[in-house]
């Protein structure tokens, strides 16, 4: 648990060296072309033209830009905001409360971990904590999800 970045807020004041990528593995002077707009996939419109059109728009955006914005997906803004709120609650909990899902075993279906899948063997750690769990079919996995915060499930 001491590896989790979310537990460092009051103890670590400077970035440890093993979180700094060596100069030769940084992007360096690579020129990244400026783009003032990201591809936007309007799911309503795309699906109205057929599922294959939506799929092709997403594939093209991923190939050309590596990302896209999805609009008119039908997920309620309130649900999105509530989801982000409960995720923040989870990562803000005390370590004792997160310990039940912390694991360094990548085969666990529900686990909290930091950096990559192989923390002990990587030379430089990524600056991130992850909570990963399977969701579908929900009845097969929800019992593995964190107990706290209560509204997580």
pLDDT in tens, 98-144: 999 999 888 999 999 987 777 788 888 888 889 999 999 999 999 99
- Does residue 28 fall inside a structural domain? no
Provide the number of structural domains found in the chain.
Answer: 2
**DSSP state for residue 102 in the 8-state scheme:** B
- Does residue 113 fall inside a structural domain? yes
- Does residue 127 fall inside a structural domain? yes
Same domain, 88 and 136: yes
Using one digit for the tens of pLDDT, what is the confidence trace for 27-66? 777 776 777 788 999 999 888 998 899 999 999 999 988 8
How far is 38 from 23, CA to CA, in rounded Å? 29
How far is 126 from 107, CA to CA, in rounded Å? 20
Find the domain containing 60 and state its range: 37-74
What pTM, to 2 d.p., does this model score? Answer: 0.71
How far is 152 from 84, CA to CA, in rounded Å? 10
Which of 140, 129, 132 shows the shortest CA–CA distance to 8?
Answer: 129
Of 29, 59, 74, the one marking the end of a domain is 74
């Amino acid at each position: 648990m001491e590896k989790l970045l979310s537990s460092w807020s009051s103890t670590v004041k400077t970035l440890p060296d093993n979180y700094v990528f060596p100069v030769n593995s940084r992007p360096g002077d690579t020129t990244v072309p400026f783009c003032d707009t990201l591809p936007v996939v309007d799911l309503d419109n795309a699906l109205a033209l057929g599922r294959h059109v939506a799929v092709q728009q997403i594939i093209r955006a991923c190939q050309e830009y590596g990302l896209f914005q999805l609009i008119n997906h039908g997920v309620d803004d309130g649900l999105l905001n509530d989801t982000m709120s409960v995720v923040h609650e989870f990562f803000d909990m005390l370590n004792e409360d997160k310990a039940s899902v912390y694991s360094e075993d990548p085969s666990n279906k529900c686990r909290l971990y930091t950096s990559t899948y192989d923390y002990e063997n990587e030379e430089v750690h990524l600056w991130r904590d992850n909570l990963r769990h399977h969701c579908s079919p929900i009845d097969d996995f929800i019992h593995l999800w964190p107990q706290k915060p209560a509204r997580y499930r």
